């Protein structure tokens, strides 16, 4: 509520509500510094009922320029989402969501340290995707010190939240003090950021643990002038082996795509005149994408954007960024249905990016096209809030 008034922009109203909730006790500050163990139990979409649990922990993480080699990105970012997040941060002076960070720990140190199967969660909620979110408050000083020591030298990959991370980083630079802050910010003997804006809330997830699921994001192309499926297929043949697929069930199409991509990269083009499995001719594709690194050229999503969308279909990088002729969909059935209804010219079903591919690209300092990865499930915002004041 905003005192019954609709005045002020959305950022001003958010700041007003946040202040009111803190003043009235709806939101309460934790009495001691802490981290939060965070579990998400979910059914994997399209898996015929496979249930997994993803475990991590919510804590403050320091902000670093990518050039420092501590935090690595894997996707491009756009200016408009960053502007929105910056406006909200400036108005509220608080972080409400977490950056989804990946780190490597084959020994599962954090999971063994933080999770007690018999402990009652402090928060338990099921979201609209039937994901069970559970949170436990961990305030034991020794436990947190062990945890921070174990992660002190870890490299981090942003799984989700590139725009929020870069917004927080820029905001941090705006508020860097002229003089170093005192190391005695409080009497609790735990690591603290040098100033509040130098950190952001992160959920740290071990990339070596079970429960890490990356879903494909399918591409739907629309609004092309004089698109003819047969012409497109002929244009694709110099770069791809083309197999017409007579299967109609979505599960069968996805299985065919997965099999085609087992040894090479593969796309499944859905048109009104038929479905076609496109399997890359690696030499021809590499020559067409000579401006990309070898590791990039081996990604189906890079082949789709750089070769199919830009070179064969003539969609400019700007149009791709602005989604002038492109939609991104998680649901393969909806992507196919848009073609059937005539709302799209062609849909490209994708295999998911693997964790190994993401790790290689990120640690090489390279980026994939926008929306190359879809980590499922999403983190739930608002489980914890980091106020800067």
Which of 36-45, 79-88, 307-316 has the weakest average pLDDT?
79-88
Q: In sequence order, what are the residues at sequence separation of 6 or more whose Cβ sits closer than 8 angstroms to the Cβ of residue 316?
A: 310
pLDDT category of residue 1 using cuts at 50, 70 and 90 = very low
Percent over 70 (pLDDT), the chain: 95
pLDDT category of residue 5 using cuts at 50, 70 and 90 = very low
Q: Where are the domains of the chain?
A: 31-213+377-387, 217-351
Residue 148 and residue 165 in contact, taking contact as beta carbons nearer than 8 Å: no
pLDDT at 189 (0 to 100): 65
Residue 358 and residue 159: Cα distance in Å, rounded? 9
| Answer CATH for 217-351 from 3.30.1760, 1.10.10, 3.30.70, 3.40.1110 | 3.30.1760
* 167-196: average pLDDT: 77
- List pLDDT tens digits, range 155-166: 999 999 999 999
DSSP string, 98-161: -EEEEE--TT-HHHHHH--TTSPPSEEEE-TT--EEEEEEE--HHHHHHHHHHHTT--EEEEE-
- List pLDDT tens digits, range 364-389: 999 998 889 999 999 999 999 999 99
Q: Tell me: pLDDT of 120 over 70.
A: yes
pLDDT at 37 (0 to 100): 98
Alpha helices in the chain (DSSP H): 10-24, 79-92, 109-114, 141-151, 162-174, 229-236, 250-260, 282-288, 294-297, 300-303, 317-321, 332-341, 355-363
Residue 325 and residue 319 in contact, taking contact as beta carbons nearer than 8 Å: yes
pLDDT at 7 (0 to 100): 52
pTM comes to 0.90
Residue 66 is classified by DSSP as: G
Which position has the higher pLDDT, 190 or 209?
209
pLDDT category of residue 188 using cuts at 50, 70 and 90 = low
Residue 287 and residue 354 in contact, taking contact as beta carbons nearer than 8 Å: no
* 351-356: average pLDDT: 94
- List pLDDT tens digits, range 286-323: 999 999 999 999 999 999 999 999 999 999 998 988 88
Residue 272 is classified by DSSP as: T
pLDDT at 190 (0 to 100): 77
Residue 67 is classified by DSSP as: G
* 71-100: average pLDDT: 89
Report the Cα–Cα distance between both ends of the chain, in Å, rounded: 22
pLDDT category of residue 181 using cuts at 50, 70 and 90 = low
Q: Tell me: pLDDT of 77 over 80.
A: no
């Amino acid at each position: 509520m905003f005192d019954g008034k609709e005045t002020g922009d959305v950022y001003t109203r958010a700041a007003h509500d946040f202040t009111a909730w803190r003043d009235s006790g709806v939101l309460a500050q934790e009495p001691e510094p802490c981290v939060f163990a965070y579990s998400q139990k979910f059914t994997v979409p399209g898996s015929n009922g496979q249930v997994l649990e993803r475990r991590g922990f919510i804590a403050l993480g320091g902000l670093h320029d990518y050039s420092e080699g501590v935090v690595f990105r894997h996707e491009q970012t756009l200016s408009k989402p960053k502007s929105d997040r910056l406006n909200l941060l400036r108005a509220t002076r608080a972080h409400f969501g977490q950056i989804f960070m990946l780190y490597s720990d084959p020994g599962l140190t954090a999971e063994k340290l933080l999770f007690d199967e018999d402990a009652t969660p402090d928060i338990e909620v099921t979201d609209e995707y039937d994901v069970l979110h559970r949170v436990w408050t961990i305030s034991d000083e020794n436990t947190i010190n062990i945890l921070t020591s174990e992660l002190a030298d870890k490299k981090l990959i942003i799984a989700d939240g590139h725009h929020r991370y870069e917004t927080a980083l820029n905001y941090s630079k705006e508020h860097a003090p002229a003089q170093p802050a005192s190391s005695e910010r409080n009497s609790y003997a735990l690591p603290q950021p040098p100033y509040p804006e130098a950190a952001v809330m992160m959920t740290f997830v071990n990339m070596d643990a079970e429960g890490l699921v990356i879903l494909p994001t399918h591409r739907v192309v629309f609004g092309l002038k004089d698109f003819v499926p047969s012409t497109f297929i002929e244009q694709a043949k110099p770069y791809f082996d083309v197999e017409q697929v007579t299967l109609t069930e979505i599960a069968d199409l996805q299985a065919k795509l997965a099999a085609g991509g087992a040894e090479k990269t593969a796309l499944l083009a859905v048109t009104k005149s038929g479905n076609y499995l496109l399997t890359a001719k690696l030499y021809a594709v590499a020559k067409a994408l000579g401006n990309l690194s070898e590791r990039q050229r081996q990604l189906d999503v890079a082949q789709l954007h750089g070769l199919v969308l830009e070179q064969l279909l003539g969609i400019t990088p700007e149009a791709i960024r602005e989604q002038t002729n492109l939609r991104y969909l998680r649901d393969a059935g909806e992507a196919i249905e848009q073609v059937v209804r005539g709302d799209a010219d062609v849909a490209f079903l994708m295999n998911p990016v693997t964790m190994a591919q993401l790790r290689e690209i990120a640690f090489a300092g390279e980026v994939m096209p926008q929306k190359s990865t879809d980590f499922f499930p999403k983190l739930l915002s608002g489980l914890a809030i980091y106020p800067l004041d």
